[in-house]
Amino acid sequence: MTLALERIGPEERGSASRDKDVDAAAGRVALELSGVTLSFGGVQALQDIDLVVERGEIRAIIGPNGAGKSSLINIISGVYRADRGRVSINGQRFGRVPTERLARLGIARTFQNLALFKGLSVLDNVKTGLAYRHRASVLEQVIGVGRARREQEEARARSQAILDFLHLTDVGERLAGTLPYGLQKRVELARALVAEPDILLLDEPMAGMTATEKNELADFVRSARDRFGTTVVLIEHDIGVVMGLSDHVAVLDYGRKIADGTPGKVANDPKVIDAYLGVAPENEDGEGI
- 199 closest CA partner among 229, 169, 165: 229
CA 18-20-26 angle, 5° bins:
105
**Phi/psi of residue 60, each to 5°?**
-95, 145
Among candidate residues 56, 132, 68, the one with its CA nearest the CA of residue 99: 132
By the 8 A CB rule, do 283 and 289 touch? yes
Give the strand pairing for 107-110 and 92-94.
unpaired
**pLDDT beyond 60 at 242:** yes
Q: At residue 181, does pLDDT exceed 70?
A: yes
> Can you give the pLDDT at residue 138?
43
Instruction: List all residues 6 or more positions away from 225 whose beta carbon is below 8 Å from its beta carbon.
Output: 56, 58, 231, 232
Angle between helix 147-165 and 211-228 (nearest 10) = 130
| For range 15-38, the mean pLDDT | 70
Give the count of alpha carbons within 13 A of 50, CB side only.
4
pLDDT band at 151 (very low <50, low <70, confident <90, very high): confident
- Let me know: does 116 contact 176? Beta carbons within 8 Å: yes
Q: Are 264 and 281 in contact (CB under 8 A)?
A: no
**Strand (E) or helix (H) holding 199:** strand 199-203
Q: 282 has which bridge partners?
A: 288
Distances, alpha carbon 273 to alpha carbons 235, 253, 261, in Å: 18, 11, 14
Bigger pLDDT: 22 or 206? 206
Instruction: Report the pLDDT averaged over residues 4-21.
Output: 42
Percent of all residues in the chain with a pLDDT value above 70, rounded to a whole number: 81
Helix H or strand E encompassing 222: helix 211-228
pLDDT band at 120 (very low <50, low <70, confident <90, very high): very high
Is pLDDT above 90 for 131? no
Give me the pLDDT at residue 139, please: 42
Strands in 92-195 per DSSP E:
92-94, 107-110
| CA-atom Rg of the chain in angstroms | 22
| Widest Cα–Cα separation across the chain | 77
